[in-house]
Structure 1
Amino acid sequence: MLAVLVSLLPLVRVLPGCHCQSTNATAAITATTVTSVVSGSLTSKVGGYAVFDCPVPLEYVTRRSRPLVIRWTKNGHTVFTLSGGSLTTDERYEGRTSIVEPPEFSDAIATSINVSSLRESDTGDYECFATHKNRDLQLTASSQRPPLPSSQPLSHQSSTASTLSAVGTDIVDAGVRIKLDVQGGDIMSIPPINQTRLEHESVHFSCVKEDLESTVQWYKDGVPLDDLPILNGRFNVSLEGSLDIYDAGLNDNGFYLCRIMSAKGTFSAGAFLNVQYKAKIVYSPAEVFLAFGKPGTLDCHFHSNPPLTKIRWEKDGFLFDTYNVPGVYHKLNGSLYFNRVGKEHSGKYTCTPFNDLGTEGPSTPMDLIVQHPPKLIVVPKVLYFRKLGDNITMPCEAENVDNKSPAIVWQKADGKSLFDPRVTVAGGNLTLTGVKSEDRGVYRCVASNIAATISAETELIVEESLFHQKNFGLHINSTKKNIVAYWKRPYSFCTVWSRDTSLKLSNWNATATSSDGKAILWNLNASKEYEIMVSCREEISGESLFSKSILIHPKVAESDQLSLQELNKSTGPVTDSFDIRVERSGGNYNVSWTFTDNSRKDQADVERYQVKWYDAFDGKELGTASTEANKRHIGR
């Protein structure tokens, strides 16, 4: 930070690299490249920019004070006139000047002028005059004036603008003067300036070198032009160093930098190219699939510079106005948004984009096809048990949707590859031969079409790895009426498994599920011997962890066996004659039953059912009911 005294000096902001000079001044200079200050002079560079602010008294810079005319002269000739928000410039500055707008929502009016792409010929003495209602104003350099807004750099060199703030209370009867000195002209006399051109027009960037022996290199966005295929054969660099681009296109937009290398040093200056064109379609898919019953978007793929002003949509040759179609809206980018896709939205759509220059025409027709998402009609079991070396087939089948079969693939939830000679997929079914220990885990059947993707999961358990994985504290309470399993509750959802040990080839069966650490095994016969274990799914990996198994023995006394036999003879079917299903509903239970295959012949003789329920801990009878239906709701 540097502080000196300034008198009678307007506010001027310049590029980094500018050398601001003054004596007897008070200034706040924020750029780190400022080296010295001398009275009445400002030093900048070729290709840089400067902001000239005429220090008009505060009472004349509000919108209520119009009309205010600010006039800048150079060496006695008028070069800039700012009046009513309009700027008039001398032809030597054409394309290089702009108004610095005051802060948004401010009541102040613009009093500052930005001059970019400075040239050596811009060097000279500048003087500011202000007139209000045909009366010349006394100009005051005052610290009470609001600060200028920061201006956006207009060249590649101007990433951080310097500021020079003049403060004081001196009143000037005539205009305020400033001497501008633009350096670098001994290497580059005329820098490039920003260009706006229409598509297919030619572009000219000036870059005039002083020494004909100097070397000139041009870059686009930091890349040498010779290395850009899009410009191959479409540009030429003249002997003086200027660049011409022919048949400009939308991909030519960017920042162009001229670098001159001479015996005196290296000097660079650049400018932007803005190629404008009519709004045009760049891509139109022949078919667009949207999922039935779900939200969907139909995009219009276009380019536009200047920005898009509107898009016209047509369906089947007629104007498609979203204001007349419920549930369909225009998005800000012009796309069509369907709140809930229905069959009525099918059809051939075209879109036509417009901007201030017009349009290149509509898109080719896009056939919008409404497709139902896939539906699985065969899914694998929740869990499979296999021994080492066994084979397993896990089924998965999807229904044909809109006369098309969804694609079915199998994945392993842990991300491991299923590319293995032992794995085959046929008709959606996954077959694994010679099961190995590493095959255990969660598998996922994924069915997809263009509309949506769905999946179903299953888990393969290799029995070698079942036991002693986790201590759930499993214990079994077996009475002559019920079998109840208890375990600790480290997980939210667990399954109780059982198998009948009296059978040589008995598979594990899911007997009950629970989330509260206990389950009544209603479908087991208390007079038989079972092997029981519990599994709980690990939430992070998705795999099941198993307890060790427990063998339970029958606990029905001989007298009980006799009474059951007598009951069978006298009253017909009893508990062993039914498949009983119990479902929990809040704090109550829904019980239903069907005859077993062996006792179905007795069903015609039944007039009523007698239902009794008991406490699972001590076998105490809790209630009884009679019903003609094969179901009963039991409340606590």
Structure 2
Amino acid sequence: MGLRLDQRPFSKVTVVFAALVLSLFNRVLVRTTGSTFNDAVHITAIVGESVVFNCQVEFPAEHPVPYVLQWEKKGLEIPIFIWYDNYPTHSGSGYEGRVARVSPDSPYGLASLNLTNIQESDQGWYACKVVFLNRSPTNKNGTWFHLDVHAPPRFVTIPGDVQYINVGDSIILNCQALGTPTPEIVWFKDATDVQPTSTVGIFNDGTELRISNIRIEDIGDYTCIARNGEGQISHTARVLIAGGAVIMSPPTNQTKLEGEKVEFTCGAKAMPGNVTVRWSREGAFVKSISSLETRVTIKKDGSMVINPVSADDSGQYLCEVSNGIGDPQSASAYLNVEYPAKVTFTPTVQYLPFRLAGVVQCYIKANPPLQYVTWTKDKRLLEPYQQKDIVIMNNGSLLFTRVNQNHQGRYTCTPYNAQGTQGSSGQMEVLVRKPPTFTVEPDNMYQRKISESVEMYCDAQEAEGTQKPKIQWQRRDGAPLPKGRHSIHGGNITIENLRKTDFGYYHCVASNEVATIVTTTHLVVEGTQPHSPYNVTANASETAVTLQWLPGYSGGPDYKQDYTIWYKEPGMTEWSRIPVTPSGSTQVTINRLTPDTTYEFQVVGKNALGDGMLSKVISIRTLAAVPLTVAKKTSPAPPVTELPPPPSDDVVDYSDLILPTESSGATLYPPVFRPKGPKPGPPRNLSITEVRNGFVISWQAPLERAHLVRYYVIHYKTDGIWRTLNKAQIRAEDTSYLVKSLVGGRTYYFRVVAYSLKSFENSEEIKFPVPARVKHKAITAGVVGGLLFFIVAIILSVCAVKICNKRKRRKHEKAYNMVACRITDARNGGQIPGTSQVPLKKSRSTRISSLSSGCNVVLNMVTRSRSSSFLDQDHDCVDGAQHEQRRLGRISRSADGRFVLTRGDSRSSSLSSSSDDGGFLSHPSFADRTRSPQQRPPPLLPSMPSMPMPPPSSSSLFYANEHWLDLTSPVLPSPSSHSSASKPLSVDDQYEFDPVFPVSPTPTDMMMMATRTPTTPSPSRSRTPTQLKKAKYENVEARLQAMKEEFYAYKRRQAEMARMGYVESAC
């Protein structure tokens, strides 16, 4: 259904809506003439110009019909232009006022579109569409257009006109431009194109010019040019060396009279020149000082004007300039305002203490300083110089050395200086009154332990006619009283929970209008660390510094104080420490210091409670080193040769090297100065990881100069002192270290030090709190280890006891064998046992300890007789069974003084042993032994023809000759007469040898006698037993004489053997 022209026109909104709907409908049903982009019309335009899209309208059958014209742009949903006759047109967003249908009278087609003020965003594809109304939609008309928009370059980012930099800095100049086609950017420096170098580069398609490590030759004008086919633009940036503000005309000190005008200059220059000037006095901005606010002015050139000046304006004024580059520069000047001397305050009444010293004040202010003051009393001129008890003080006040009633009156003062005076003071009434007095004074000293309390008493009373004095407590050093721990009640002060800082002198001050009186007490706090040493002085030489100081309080009479010196070079972080010796000394000399070097020193005291406080730091510089001199010796005259000798200066005698000496004359050997090499880089990424068997400290090698690292050292601390963790050096290839144990619940600090050949560098410190469970593991391990050690100790103790008992048993067995296995048993046919004969411990009946000492002599004799035949035989003890059957006998002494052995059994109860056998054998025991006559040795003693010999069995003389034969010849039989004798006979019943000096011959005696000339055998050997028995009691004196000679011979043998190193057995 078509739209009739004669109908009433629709509203504007209705037509637009209908056109949009129709446009969307035709998007599907209508296709334009020329259905491909290949038939499109290409148009080129420049930004800002206008262009006409020429579109013809071909009516059906060439008859005009109503139509709707619309222009679309590819990429936009809504057409940019819609036209229908007699209705308002529609313009798309961004095209308002720039699109319009050309006039029908123009040479362009009826559907042509005029686009004005072209922009770069207008570039693209455009379609012209014509929709005929009241016609079939198959007939359509339109065409495609492509608009190319060209734009000259334009900058979107440019650098600043002036760039201020410092030498060595880096800078980036950014220059970005847009245009169609895309513009090309090039850089020029001072009309020359920039060529990339190691420090200059162009990046990001030429938009960035980067300059690193700027040098002086890099300073200049840099131009950025953006160009394309439509034109070019440029921008220039000037790179200058930045300079902070510099004061060119600093202020100077000035002196002005009160009321005059003063001006301080402060001219400055800078690059850039945006200089800011700030004036201040004593740290306060002059505009913020109320007394100067209305009288001060700061000019544009930085000058400050004060008009007029007053007496209070005197002081130091500071001018500070800055342009934002570098540190601000400053300069100061002093303003001295002079004025006549004047009295600033006049009290109406002043008091003087009776019979004490007192002062009448005159409050004066003067610049220049006060020259003199005149005083009047009761309107009469006072001449203080003519009175012995009045003195004018430097500040103009009157000092009365001893006040009396005559000093009471009305006083005035008039001050003078170089500028004159501003007048006298008003009248001051001076009254003489009695001062307050102390009624209770504190003790001279209070001694308390730390953490205890102390109460110090003080009170005062006023004189008649005066006010009650006010009592206050103060510390003599000016420090405040302990806050929260002291209380004052009346005149008494109580300090609780005493601390080390409470030590010192305290003043009790009582004051009223007449006078102020003071009393002092000393509070000593005992049981603390030492106080700081003070009055530290130093005396330096080239390589040594001597320190002296006064000791601080040691902490109490029970504590001894030692000292330690801390010193370092300025700028160093770690202090070196040297203990002072001898103990308690207050002077020390530190040697081996570097000449011409400043050192800082501190002294700290130490007692049993720990280190005290450090003294104040004292700095001293060692003296410059004295150049070493070398004495040169002249070489002796060389012999005549063809070649000339070397010059004498080449011969240097280094033995004459002169070194500096101390005051005592001792040589000072300066330290060897080793140059420090390049430092390695610091180790990095230090970390600690807990593992099963401890903690692993790991790090990474330095980023810089890692090749210089020779080894690593790990430091740790839990307090303020660093300690070395690893015992040996850690190789440079290793970057981890295992710590097997750390104390649980404690916080550690670690650092790794990388050492090069001559220097080192520390890593950053890390903090590592050890978990508390590690401590529990350590405790458990310690308990288990202790239990295991205790068990092992018990086992070892038991083993030791067993071994000791075994050795003791063996020792007893050996002694027992030597006692039980006797020579007499061998002669009596004793058997050699095969087992040990030591009795059991509990078998006390078999103990023979009483016989052990008696047989030690036998043992010694047997061991010395290496040539004896019985040593080749086994002579062990009787076995246990046999020993149990035959009990040991009891040794007793008979009436004749001989030892008798009584057997335990009935068989030997009636028998006794002779003293010749040692008391261990009974006579019947010889019946079982046989002896060959051929084995009998020759007699050992010379024959005595005049003395009849007793029978060999009973005579002690014969036993002395024959006993050794019994020992060495056990097979010889004993005489048969012994079996019938009940008691052995002796030469004399009243004589018996001392057992200490036995007469039995020893192997040594036999060897000595063997060397002698043989003598004729004694005739007594041929006598019969009857003859011997008959002559038994004949010639007693001869027998006694023979016994004495035998005794004397025995003594001679003993002496001779003692000289030869032998000892004859007493057994």
Name the TM-score, length of structure 2 as normaliser.
Answer: 0.20
Higher relative contact order (Cα pairs below 8 Å, separated by 6+ residues): 1
Higher helix share: 2
Higher strand share: 1
Structure number with greater Rg is 2
